Amino acid sequence: MGREFASVGVVGLGTMGAGIVEVFARNGIAVLAVEINEAALQRGRDNLRGSVDRAVRKGKLSEADRDALLERVTFAVGLPSLHAADLVIEAVPEQLELKQRLFADLDGVCKADAILATNTSSLSVTEISVATGRPDRVIGMHFFNPAPVMKLVEVVRTVVTADDVVTDIEGLCARLGKVDVTIGDRAGFIANALLFGYLNQAVSLLEARYASREDIDAAMKLGCGLPMGPLALLDLIGLDTAYEILDTMYRRGGRDRRHAPVPLIKQMVTAGLLGRKSGRGFYAYEKPGSPVVVDGAAATATESEARTIAKVGVVGSGTMATGIIEVFARAGLEVVAVTRGAEQSGRTGEALKTSLDEAVVRGTLDEAARDAALGRVTWSATIEHLADVDLVVEAVVEDLSVKKALFAALDETCKPGVVLATTTSSLPVIELAVATRRPADVVGLHFFNPAPAVGLVEVVRTIRTSDATIATATAVARAVAKHPVVCADRSGFVVNALLFPYLNDAVKMVEASYSTADDIDAAMKLGCGYPMGPFELLDVVGLDVALAMQRKLYLELREPGFAPAPLLEQLVTAGYLGRRVGRGFRDHPER
C-alpha cells in the first residue's frame, strides 16, 4: 500500500497544471494551486473553471460534483503556501534552468518527507533533482494532455529515487484512476521518444515537398487508424513546444539525427507560427486557440485531365488481389481478373464470394448488389484478355523481377493510353515503369489490407509519370470510395516510411531493457490514443515484413537511426514472426 496523500500542491496553472489540479480534486484530494502572481493565478482559475464547466455541459460532471470539486482547490500566490503539502507537482514551462530554480526553492519550503515531482515531458529528472538536497525524494510524474481525460502517467525514477517514493506514486496513480508505467530517466521517456521522432519525420516529408500536408495527415489517419495526422497533432501540441522537446531529446539521446528538429520547425517558430494557440501553424485556424481550420486543401492534379475508366484488369490471386477485385466490382466497374490458371481463379472467386456474402450478413450490402458485383467479374488465365481494359492493377508477389516481367508483358498487350498500376508497398515504382515503353502511364496504387475496408490509397508518382496518369489514378480512387494521397516514389511511400521507423524505435527500447513491450504498448495507446501498441501491431503485420521494410528504408536513406534493431533481426532468424506463426513478441496460442 502506498502512502496516503492528504494534501497536494501544483505549481504552474497553465493548461496542463490546471488539468492536474482537476485530476486530484475530482478524486477527493485537497489541492493547493500555486502561481507566480495574481494575474497568472486568475488565468489558472479560468482554466480550471472552463474545464469543469465544459464537463458539466457535456454531462460528464454534475453541478453538485463540480461545486464540490472546486471547493477542494485553494489558490495561492507564492511557494511558501506549500510548506505542509505531502506532494508538490510542478507544471511550469519546459526550461531546465527554471525548473532547477523552482526545485531549489521548493526544497527550502517543503517539509522533509514531502515528495517533489516534475511533470516534464523531455528534460532530465536527474538534473532537476540535484538542484535539491533531497534527490532521493524527487520523481517524474508525466501526465498527458488533457490530464483529466488521458489515462496514462509516466512515473520516471532516477538512479537515486527511493523505492518507497516510487511505490507511493504508483499507489497514488491507481487512486487517481490512472495507468502508470514506471521507467528510468531517459530523453523523451516512452511516449515522446517514440512519438516525436515520427512527428519530426513527417515534417521532413513536407519540407522536401514529398507529399502535401493534407495527404500526409490523411495517410496516417486512414492507413494506420490514428486519431490525428502528424501535422495537425503538431499544431495542437504547439510547434515551439515540439521544437524544445526534439532539441532536448537530440542533445540528451545520443544526438540521433531523427530527433534533430527539422529546420522548417525552427523557421515556423521564429515566424510565430506556433499552431492552434497562435491561430496558424501547418494549418490556419479561425482564431488563436480554435480547432476550426479555415484554409483550403492544397491543389491537386485537375480531374479534367483524367481518362475515362470503365473496365479494369487485376492481375494476381492473393488476398490483396481479391480485395481489389471486390473494390472495383462493388463500385460498378467491369473487372477482368487474371490468375495463373483455372484452379487459382476458382479459389480467388470463392474468396471473393465469401467476402461479399459476409458483407451481406453484416448488412453493408444487399443480395442484389452482391450478385451484380459477382456478375461484373470475368476470370482469365492469360493477360491477353487485358487488351481492351482501361486500367490494369497488378497485385502479384512482392518480387521486383516478377513484377518487371509482368509490366513488360503488359506493355506488349495493352492498348495505348492504358494506366498501368502497381500495388507494391516497398519496391521502386520507377523500376517497373522503365520496364515498359510507356513510363508516363505507370503509377503506384498502393491499397491497404483489407482493401474493401481501408479507405486509403497511396498514389505514387515517379519522375516519369504524367499529370494525366496521376489525375486518372486519383479519380479512380475517389470513384471506388477511397481517399487518394499523392506522394513521390520513395521507399515506404508515406505510411510505411513513417510507421516502420516508429516500430523499429519501439523494438530498440525493449532491446535496451528500458521498458517492456506491455508498458510501451500501454503508453502509446493510453498516452497517444493509438488503436494498437507497436508490439501488438508488429505481431499482426509480421516481424519479417517489418524487418524487410526497415532494411529497404535504411538502404535507401542510409540514416543510422533507420538501421533495423538487432533484436528484430534475431527474432525473425529464430522464426518468431508474429501472430501468423503463433509467436512474435508475444505468444498467440489461439492461432
Alpha-carbon distance 493 to 394, whole Å? 17
pLDDT in tens, 45-56: 999 999 999 999
Q: Which three cell numbers stand for residue 224?
A: 494506420
Cβ-Cβ contacts under 8 Å for 312 (sequence gap 6 or more): 328, 333, 334, 335, 336, 389, 390, 391, 392, 393
The DSSP code for 142 is E
pLDDT in tens, 506-562: 999 999 999 999 999 999 999 999 999 999 999 999 999 999 999 999 998 788 888
Average pLDDT over residues 444-455: 94
**Residue 298 pLDDT more than 50?**
no
Is the N-terminal amide bond of 534 cis, ω within 30° of 0?
A: no
**Residue 487 pLDDT more than 70?**
yes
**Residue 426 pLDDT more than 90?**
no
Is the N-terminal amide bond of 146 cis, ω within 30° of 0?
A: yes
Higher-confidence position of 402 and 272 = 402
Give the residue numbers marked as catalytic: 121, 142, 154, 192
**Residue 449 pLDDT more than 80?**
yes
According to the model, what pLDDT value does residue 561 have?
84
HEC string of 515-566 equals: CCHHHHHHHHHHHHCCCCCHHHHHHHHCHHHHHHHHHHHHHHHCCHHHCCCH
**Residue 326 pLDDT more than 70?**
yes
CA angle 366, 370, 374 (to 5 degrees): 175
**Residue 291 pLDDT more than 80?**
yes
**pTM for this entry:** 0.86
Taking alpha carbons only, the member of 115, 128, 193 closest to residue 154 is 193
Strand partners, 337: 314, 379
Instruction: Return the biggest CA–CA distance within the chain.
Output: 85
Alpha-carbon distance 591 to 579, whole Å? 7
According to the model, what pLDDT value does residue 300 have?
47
